[in-house]
Structures are given as structure tokens and as C-alpha cells.
Chain A
Amino acid sequence: MDLAIFLVQLLNGLQYGLLLFLIASGLTLVFGVMGILNLAHGSMYMVGAYLAWYFFQGTESFLFSAVISAVIALMLGVLIERTLICRMYKRNHLDQVLLTIGMIFVFNALQSLLWGNDPLGVDVPDALSGSLHLTGVVEYPVYRIFVALFCVAIAAALYFVINRTRLGMLIRAGESNREMVECLGVDISRLYTIVFGAGVMLATIAGVVAAPMASIVPGMGEHVLISCFVVVVIGGMGSIKGALVGALLVGVVDTFASVVVPDVASMIVYILMAVILLIKPQGLFSN
């Protein structure tokens, strides 16, 4: 592998990893703070991609479709939490898994009903099309660089909210001792609605920004869900920092595996996960 290819693949891996982080952060946040295992989280990524496609058809404006998709996602997340997830807090993980698997089927049926099963695509927005010269011969798509930077910005915003704001303090406190938070006069159910809504929005935004890079197909949600679980298990369930490190690891390893050992590439991240779990059974950054 020459240096140019190596560099491009490294960028691809990092960019894919950052996108995975965007999705996995919501999954791990909802699990860490609320104790909810949401298998339908990947479906939110799918919903994001389809929404982006749908609004892009109508408006031809990527920015507009991104914003409106994010708003719809937030409302959808709040609705799902208030009607379904809120019944799960006192139940065990098996009940949560059954409910959220059911939600996957519902979302898949809706997708098939509303948008059909043919692969769809969204154009890269004009302002972000084209490539950037990195070195003499190496070019890299501007849009991928944009996605990477966008994910970094979201990660930074997430870090800021969780570590530097009162809302973040309450979220962390709720993660540590729910009962005590309520005993300080805080409405924890409102906090949970916010966290779940934010988690759904993160996955949906990931689907939106991925739409111009990926083909929009049925099953894309399940596929990304499995990758996210690998990320979250590697990083430590509930740890945002762990999700970031895990996502970058999975992104880079997966990308290089598909270039270097294409025949067994799909196995490599699971082997990575197994090795990490052998060394740290609770994941890299478990609490």
C-alpha cells in the first residue's frame, strides 16, 4: 500500500468512525443515563436518510432538508419516549429489547410503505461537491471532510453540554443516582425525554449527513445498529468518551480491513471486539 492510498484510507476510516460516533453516542447516552437498551436506534439513522431524500426531492435544498429532518426527529423522539419508552423504566432489559425490536419492524414497514424498497440517493450539495488536493496526487472529496468536521463539532457540543452546563450536571447526576436527583426536586422524567429526544436526533442527523455518501436502502438501520453495538461494547456501555474511541477504532480498522483483507473484512471488527473484551471485559471506558 503506498502512502497516498494509506492516507486516503485513513481519512475514510476516521470519517466513517466519526459518523459511527454520532450514532453510537445516542445509543450509549440513552443506555447510560436512562438504562434503556434501544434496538430501534439504528432505525432512526435510516429514518434520517429517508427523510433527507424525501425533503431533498421536494426542495432541492440539502440544508433545508437537513434542518427539517432534525426537527422532525426530535419530535419523533419525544413522542416515542412519552408514549412507549416511558413505560420501560421499571422493566427489565428483555422487555425493552422486545419493545424496541417491535419498533424496528414498524419503522421498516413504514419505510417500505412510504418510500418503497428501491435504493435511493441524494446528491452531494453543490457547495460541498468536488475534491480537495491533499498532496501532489492525493485528492479527497470535500463532502467527506465536511462530514468529519461536522461530526467533530457535534462531539464538541455534546462534550460542552454534558460537562459544562446545568442540564449536563443533572444528566450525569441522574446517571449516578436517579432517586437522589428526584429528592432534590428535579423532574427526572422530563430529563429523560430530553435525553431520548437528543439521542434520536443524533442518529437521525447521522442518517441525513450520510445520505449523500451512501445508498439509501432498506435494512441500513439494522446494519448500522450492529456496528454501533460493537462500538459501544468496545468503549464501555454508557460512556460517551468510550463511544468516541470505540467508533474511531472500528472505523479505521474496518476501513483498512476491507482494503487489506477484503475476504474476511466483515469479521475483523468482531475479532477486535473479542480481543478488547478479553483484556477489558467491561469495555475501555466503563464506569
Chain B
Amino acid sequence: MSTHLLEVRGLHTLYGASHILHGVDLCIEPGQAVSLMGRNGMGKTTTLKSLLGVVTPRSGEVSFKGQRLDALPTWQRMRRGIAYVPEGRGMFHNLTVREHLQMANRPNDRGETQWDYDRVLALFPRLGERLDNLGTQLSGGEQQMLAIGRALLTNPDLLILDEATEGLAPLIRKEIWDVIRLIKQSGISTLIVDKNIQVLKTLCDQHVVLVKGRVAFSGNSQQLLENMSEVESYLSV
């Protein structure tokens, strides 16, 4: 019996004929924050989509809470306790802020409700002022908050964030990072794709760096510091 929350082994994914992931491994322990880094086009988003079943890998294993997910459709994987904040935020153009939150809200697979509508609005007071706006009418930062709030309302054990601070002003970025720290403190495990290694090296417990669909570095924050120059060479353009 493994104690891993999420375990990904030997993921191979292709888009048509182009082979994108070449055996990606990834592990997340309960309560941990794990970073997934790499230059643009290295396969970070593809890794996330593969483990969620949004794209179908050619081979590889995905387990969550000790149970295999490979054969399950995406929605059933999420129901086990995974939430996803996608690159680009995944707004619904025809839903208001309130509706984004209401449609997502459900207890977790143990019937518990740690996160409800009020708690999410307390975390993001700015959303409370814009409840009747369409999601697409919000600023980039507000959309990101809505995407995170919507994910939290599914009461996940694992929150996956893809480029959550991308394209935001520095002050808003800081706000988002603060929220992610709070989420981590609340006991939710996180898998964070981002470019900001300075924040990630202190925020996350484990780090994975992808180069052309392969894991080039994998280790804890101590190991990351020891191998910083090597890792930075994987990330620099």
C-alpha cells in the first residue's frame, strides 16, 4: 500500500504523431505542495491533462488515494477529490460570477463541506462585489480568483493550478500567491505549474522539472537549492 496521494508512473502521451510525454513520473504526498516547472512547450499542461484524462495517454499509470484512475472518465476522477484551475482560467462566457460558484459547489467524497460559498467570498472579497457580472467581464486577476474559488467549492484534496499567475500585474500576483499559501495551510495538497522559481522554491515541498516531455530534475527543496544552477539551465530560454 502506498501512502501517496497522487502517483503518476511512466506517462507517454501523443498528439497525433508527435510524441510529447516520454515517461513522466510524479508523486504527491498528502498535504504537500509540488511544483512542476519547465520552459514553454515542454509538456507541463499535457502532463496535467493526461493525469486528469482530458487527453488520453498512450501508456502509464495514474493512482489517487491508492486507487487506479486510468480507466475512469475525467468527471469521475475529479469526484474523487481533484480540482483543476486550467491555463487560461476556463471561464464560461454565459455564466455570471455567482453561477460559476454555484454550479461547482459540492461536498467532497466523504460528504464534508470545508469550503462553501461564503468562505470563498471571504477569501476573495472582490468577487463578492461582482457577483452579477459575467465571468468574462472580470479582469485577469479576478478571473483567476474565480477559477480558484470555483475549484475550492468542489472541496478537493488536491488542487492543480496551471500558470495561475501568468499575465497578471505584480500586486495581483502576490495576492494569488498569498491565497495559494493559505490553501496549502488549510491542508489541501497542491500541484503548481508556474514560472516563478523564486516563489516555488519556498512554497513547495517537492519539485519536478520537465525538459521535452522528460523529467530532468525531481527532488525536494533542499535538493533544488543544491542543484540550482543545473535547474536554472533547464528553465532559462
A175–B95 CA distance with the chains assembled, in angstroms: 10
A273–B104 CA distance with the chains assembled, in angstroms: 40
Interface size on B, residues (CB 8 A): 25
Q: B127 contacts which chain A residues (CB < 8 A)?
A: none
Whether B15 sits at the interface, judged by CB under 8 Å, is no
Q: Do A188 and B93 have beta carbons less than 8 Å apart?
A: no
A18–B103 CA distance with the chains assembled, in angstroms: 31
Q: Do A188 and B95 have beta carbons less than 8 Å apart?
A: no
Q: Do B74 and A177 have beta carbons less than 8 Å apart?
A: no
Central interface residue in A179, A184, A187, by most chain B CB within 10 Å: A184
Known interface pairs A166-B103, A185-B106. Does A177 touch B92 (Cβ–Cβ under 8 Å)?
Answer: yes
Min C-beta distance of A253 to chain B, whole Å: 29
Known interface pairs A182-B78, A184-B78. Does A176 touch B93 (Cβ–Cβ under 8 Å)?
Answer: yes
Known interface pairs A169-B103, A172-B95. Does A182 touch B73 (Cβ–Cβ under 8 Å)?
Answer: yes
A180–B74 CA distance with the chains assembled, in angstroms: 10
Whether A173 sits at the interface, judged by CB under 8 Å, is yes
Q: A185 contacts which chain B residues (CB < 8 A)?
A: 75-76, 78-79, 106, 154
**Nearest chain A residue, comparing its CB with the CB of B79:** A185
Interface range for A: 10 to 19
Whether B2 sits at the interface, judged by CB under 8 Å, is no
Within 8 A of A (CB), among B81-122: 83-84, 86, 90-95, 99, 102-104, 106
Q: B92 contacts which chain A residues (CB < 8 A)?
A: 172-173, 176-177, 180
Known interface pairs A172-B95, A173-B95. Does A180 touch B106 (Cβ–Cβ under 8 Å)?
Answer: no
Q: Do A180 and B103 have beta carbons less than 8 Å apart?
A: no
Name the one of A166, A176, A182 contacting B94, with C-beta atoms under 8 angstroms: A176
Q: Do B102 and A169 have beta carbons less than 8 Å apart?
A: yes
Q: B150 contacts which chain A residues (CB < 8 A)?
A: 184
Task: List 22 A-B pairs, Cβ < 8 Å.
Answer: A166-B102, A169-B103, A172-B92, A172-B94, A172-B95, A173-B92, A173-B94, A173-B103, A177-B90, A177-B91, A179-B90, A180-B86, A180-B90, A182-B74, A183-B75, A183-B78, A183-B86, A185-B76, A185-B154, A186-B75, A187-B73, A287-B94
Extra contacts, 8 of them, besides A169-B102, A173-B92 (Cβ < 8 A), are A169-B99, A182-B54, A182-B74, A183-B54, A183-B78, A184-B78, A184-B151, A287-B94
